[in-house]
Chain A
Amino acid sequence: MAKTLAEKVWDAHVVRKGDGEGANAQPDLLFIDLHLVHEVTSPQAFEGLRLAGRPLRRPDLTIATEDHNTPTLDIDKPIADLTSRTQIQTLRNNCQEFGVRLHSLGDAEQGIVHVVGPQLGLTQPGMTVVCGDSHTSTHGAFGALAMGIGTSEVEHVMATQTLSLKPFKTMAINVEGTLRPGVSAKDIILAVIAKIGTGGGQGYVLEYRGSAIRALSMEARMTICNMSIEAGARAGLVAPDQTTYDYMFGRPHAPQGAEWDAAVAYWNTLRTEDDATFDVQVDLDADTLEPFVTWGTNPGQGVSLSARVPSPEDFGDENAKAAAERALQYMGLEAGTPMKDIRVDTVFLGSCTNSRMEDLRAAADIIRGRTKDPDIRMLVVPGSARVRLEAEAEGLDKVFKDFGAEWRFAGCSMCLGMNPDQLEPGERCASTSNRNFEGRQGKGGRTHLVSPVVAAATAVRGTLSSPSDLDPAPESAAVRSDAA
């Protein structure tokens, strides 16, 4: 039977097929090619190994970094928060005891685990990649089957280098057409989530296909695959192509010489066959897509930036209506308000969704020569220490600092506020991260998910804005627009 890409990768990793057929089938045992580890979801797993007297089976397929708790200021000083410091020290002790490679705070390869894997060339097409973090779906951009796992599964992978998994259903997300200027990968995935809902992908692996996806860079594809989990899917992927190979070539852990040729020959087989069937097909028109923004407290509660805050009455389903009512109350919004009239306090540019070089460049291009709204606090947090170094080599740090933004060290930062980077109660944030849940960025904080260019334009105007709302010439944009 003709296979989809996800099925091919799955089949190539079956260590042992589960007994039985159909609904009664036992799970397959799948081999895991790469296990990414960070400080938050690993301590209890390491402790489990210790208590059972089990070794970590494949340290050579495991890599750890510090990201969730790490401060983005004063990284040369001891971490002020004692529980954060203890958790990071625990990771360091565990990695030493079990022989795991670790990139610690201060190391040039430290950073958000989903930025570090690809930049080192460790994420490659056709692999199985797992991590105790739901945004592991990011690595699907390379045509890898990549998914987030819980701590029990982290321990299982440490002990066995395998996972027991029930086969997924498959869903094609077809995005055809050409994105307009100012519209980006983030807008595609926010529109997908608004369309299929936060539960739409449950039980599925998504494959992003179509001309608009093929035209995207690797970093843009990572942004899309990253948020597959926000649509309920544990994994989402894109078939590898020349864009993938060009991105990978020459990276530290990419194959070299004859091995590169062997790898490319294999990667070229990683395509969904023409006569393969998906369980579900979803179509999205790239030509008509506008910048997208969320108004509520789950990532499915989004609209075009040019639209208005919806009314609970717009929703037929009783649960959706109740959820909308609650979300509007939490967000402090009135139905019918134009999204572009919403004033924000903070702009956060960062997270595993949008903290790579292209994201920083795109935002810098918007703000260069313009002036920040004086009441806006803007945090720029590169995804990794390497990204920070590259950005500084290009002078982007100066663009952000001249604009009045804070240029920080790498980590998850305000995406989930496990470090000191948090919103105050009632504070409103335009954020390039992935979750607008209640309290996610700080207790009582209000999050609007946006793309990097919308974040940048918002920092200029002070209200949710798209780049097309800005005055055309940087000279004239230096004078603050009061149009909103």
Chain B
Amino acid sequence: MEKFTTHTGIGVPLRQSNVDTDQIIPAVYLKRITRTGFEDALFAAWRKDPAFILNQEPFNAGSVLVAGPDFGTGSSREHAVWALKDYGFKTVLSSRFADIFRGNSGKQGLLAAELAQDDIELIWKELENAPGTAVTVDLVSKTVQCGNIVAPFEIDDYTRWRLLEGLDDIGLTLKHEEDITAFEATRPAFMPKTLPAKLS
């Protein structure tokens, strides 16, 4: 995973709550078997509307998405994170993220930064008044800067550390393989196994 320390890019105000993963990437795009190439799928239904924010310059070149509360609700599809990354987003700011989306972001190096809703509102106004304003998201100091606004954000320490170091989760876990093997030996005999298959 690529390291994330700080990022500066054009902020995109998405004034909407409950942006579910079906909106971020509709199910029809989930039939692909690759992990890249999802940029055309991002917000596919909404992008058909010429008035949609990502169809406006300079927001179409944005890399910091500033969204309403409850971003990423619904389906567990990690394709939502892939689509945001493939389009060019490095970070999403919101006052509330769905748990699975937040987890998926952390695994893929997309920073999900949780800000107070009041700060989100201030940043929205700034970005709407001065389109193209850059937003800096600094993971070291856990702050967001946009124009004269400086706001703190929340992220759990473990995800922050993994993002800063660019660490691979599976590699970290396999360092503890002995513990896994020891645990497996204690599993009760009555717990089911899928193999050999038993059928009704």
Contact = CB atoms under 8 A, between A and B. Distances in A.
B98 A160 contact: no
A124 B78 contact: no
Interface residues of A, number: 94
B17 interface: yes
A87 B33 contact: yes
A365 interface: no
A352 B179 CA distance: 35
B130 interface: no
Given A44-B34, A386-B200, A152 B108 contact: yes
B158 A26 contact: yes
Given A54-B170, A90-B33, A149-B100, A120 B20 contact: no
Nearest to A161: B180
B73 interface: yes
A16 B100 contact: no
A223 interface: no
Given A29-B179, A386-B200, A438 B23 contact: yes
Nearest to B174: A160
Interface stretch (A180-188, A213-221, A248-256): A248-256
Nearest to A14: B183
A133 B33 CA distance: 16
Contact of B81 (A150, A233, A263): A150
Contacts of A41: 76-78
A140 B27 CA distance: 25
Contacts of B50: none
B15 A322 contact: yes
Contacts of B107: 150, 152-153
A198 B72 CA distance: 11
B69 A266 contact: no
Contacts of B189: 259, 262
Interface stretch (A60-68, A332-340, A469-477): A60-68
Contacts of B136: none
A326 B179 CA distance: 51
B44 to A, nearest CB: 9
A270 B33 CA distance: 40
B70 A31 contact: no
A24 interface: yes
Contact of A443 (B34, B45, B76): B45
Contact of B27 (A133, A234, A298, A417): A417
B31 A323 contact: no
Nearest to B162: A164
Contacts of B176: 15-16, 29
A345 to B, nearest CB: 20
Interface string A375-391: 00000000000100000
Given A16-B179, A153-B103, A262 B190 contact: yes
Nearest to A444: B45
A259 B197 CA distance: 18
Contacts of A18: 158
B51 interface: no
Interface string B69-103: 11001111111010000000000000011111001
A304 interface: no
B16 A326 contact: yes
| Residue of A47, A124, A164, A386 with highest tally of chain B CB at under 10 A | A164
A317 to B, nearest CB: 9
A439 interface: yes
Contact of A156 (B28, B98, B173): B173
B166 interface: no
A247 interface: no
B57 interface: no
A374 to B, nearest CB: 31
B98 A151 contact: no
Interface string B164-200: 0000011011101101100110011111111101111
Interface string A190-205: 0000000011001100
B103 A198 contact: no
| Residue of A26, A63, A319 with highest tally of chain B CB at under 10 A | A319
B26 interface: yes
Interface string B1-40: 0000000000000011110101100111011111100000
A133 B74 CA distance: 10
Contacts of B70: 198-199, 202, 232
B30 A40 contact: yes
Contacts of A452: none
A34 B96 contact: no
B191 A127 contact: yes
A83 interface: yes
Nearest to A323: B17
B194 A323 contact: no
A166 interface: yes
A124 B101 CA distance: 27
A259 B191 CA distance: 9
Nearest to A84: B31
A152 B157 CA distance: 19
Contacts of B145: none
B33 A251 contact: no
15 contacts: A15-B179, A31-B184, A63-B194, A81-B31, A101-B194, A150-B81, A160-B170, A160-B173, A161-B180, A232-B73, A259-B189, A322-B16, A323-B18, A437-B20, A437-B22
Interface of A: 15-16, 18, 23-24, 26-27, 29, 31, 33-34, 40-41, 43-44, 47, 52, 54, 57, 59-63, 68-69, 81, 83-84, 86-87, 90, 101, 108-109, 119-122, 124, 127, 132-134, 148-153, 155-156, 159-162, 164, 166, 198-199, 202-203, 229, 232-234, 251-255, 259-260, 262-263, 266, 297-298, 300, 319-320, 322-323, 326, 386, 416-418, 435, 437-440, 443
Given A109-B199, A253-B192, A439-B26, 10 more contacts: A29-B179, A52-B170, A127-B191, A160-B173, A160-B180, A164-B158, A199-B98, A260-B190, A319-B68, A416-B75
